[in-house]
Amino acid sequence: MKRLQIHTLTKDQKNNIILVMLVLLIFLLMTILSPRAFLRPANLKGMAVQFPEFGILSFGMMIAMISGGIDLSLVGIANLSSIVAAVVMLQMGDSVFSIVLGILAALLIGALCGVFNGFLIGYLKIPAMLVTLCGLQLYSGLGLAITKGPALTGLPEAYGEIANGSLIGEIPNTVLIFLVVAVAVAYLMRSTIYGSHVSFMGTNEVASKYSGINNLKVTMYTYIVSGLMGSIGGILISSHYNSAKSDYGKSYTLLTLLIVVLGGTDPSGGKGNVLGVSLAVIVLQMISSAFNILRVNSFVKTFVWGLILIGIMLISRIIDTREKQERRTQ
């Protein structure tokens, strides 16, 4: 009877349960190992400011991956749009109007980069991996050309409040933004026609074309959305440092890929869920700050990220083939 119940759970749900258990495990482990440092409000707050940055970028990566592609240019988009926002704000001076204008400019740049990616991928049929890898070079290069190297500083004080302040009680703004984005993406993927079209296209591009889905349109929308995610991530990053530069967050490309795969998204397209990705974001942020507290060399982190990525991929591959064999024997 119990066996049957486990079998009725979908693969996504199983993955999410494992992730929740991981979160609890790490939390327990850290409260036992060094309760003072881990449960300190400063540490919790530090974690809350950091994870939305790459969390939102991960949603962009997730959508691209569900559509059967990949978006390696997210960090480039993030930096370029935050640089443009910074230029706008520096021109317009210190007022609420200039901040709003800066944010709008950032979102516009994100969408434009997405249009560019989507056009090359959907219309010219260049593989997404190549387009976005080039895109990373192109957008960071453009950012570098605008800033001429050093970071743009002297942004309005109020702009820094976006990431560092808290509107409602003690909850940092970044967490609120993350929640809003997560709900919006979940709605987009679960309850809109576009959402189901994306996963159809990711599962089988030819079949979706012959069932009347406009693949080009879906691809364009996908990369525009992921570009927007990139620019929101960029706004958070630049607001966190209160400056904009062309090489912030370089390590985020690998990290977002890791998060998305850990969160149960299928690298070959078609499947993925917001809850899983959000849980994976929290797991990785907790591991990261656990490393910091235990004073582990930060390069070990790179090493461990790689091991985790390969490990997760291997485990899910082994489970997949075993399930296939079971089905064959039944």
Partner 1 sequence: MRTQITKSLTTNEAIVVYTIVALSLAIGFINPAFREFSTAITLSRAMLVTLIFAVLEMMVIVSGGIDVSFPAIACFSSYATLRLILAFDIDSVFFFYAVAGVMGIAFGLVNAFLIAKMELPALIATLGVSSVANGATLAFLGTKEYSNIPEGIDQLSKTFLFSYTNSNGITFQMTSLILIPLVLLILAYVVLRHTMLGRGIYAIGGDRFAARIAGFNVTRIQYIIYMTAGFLAAVGGVTYTILMRQGSPQNLMGSEMMVIAAVVVGGTRITGGHGTVFGTLSGVLLIAIVQNNLIMVGVPTHFQSFVVGLIIVLGTGITSIRAKRVANSSKV
Binding site for partner 1 (CB under 8 A): 70, 120, 124-127, 129-131, 133-134, 136-138, 140-142, 144-145, 147-149, 254, 257, 261, 267-268, 297, 299-307, 309-310, 313-314, 317
Quote the least distance from Cβ 124 to partner 1, whole Å: 5
| Segments in 9-40 forming alpha helices (H) | 11-33, 35-39
Q: Which is nearer to partner 1, 71 or 175 (CB)?
A: 71
Q: Which is nearer to partner 1, 161 or 247 (CB)?
A: 247
Q: Sign (positive/negative) of CA torsion 50, 253, 116, 92?
A: positive
Quote the least distance from Cβ 259 to partner 1, whole Å: 13
Q: Which is nearer to partner 1, 196 or 268 (CB)?
A: 268
Cα 160 to chain centroid distance, Å, stands at: 21
Quote the least distance from Cβ 320 to partner 1, whole Å: 10
Closest by CA to 204, choosing from 266, 126, 123, is 266
Closest by CA to 159, choosing from 76, 95, 218, is 95
Quote the least distance from Cβ 172 to partner 1, whole Å: 29
Are the C-beta atoms of residues 249 and 54 closer than 8 Å to each other? yes
Quote the least distance from Cβ 34 to partner 1, whole Å: 21
Q: Which is nearer to partner 1, 210 or 299 (CB)?
A: 299
Q: Which is nearer to partner 1, 8 or 297 (CB)?
A: 297
- Interatomic CA distance for residues 262 and 51, integer angstroms: 15
Cβ neighbours for 14, distance < 8 A, ≥ 6 positions apart: 6
Cα 216 to chain centroid distance, Å, stands at: 23
Quote the least distance from Cβ 258 to partner 1, whole Å: 8
Are the C-beta atoms of residues 253 and 305 closer than 8 Å to each other? no
Q: Which is nearer to partner 1, 146 or 158 (CB)?
A: 146
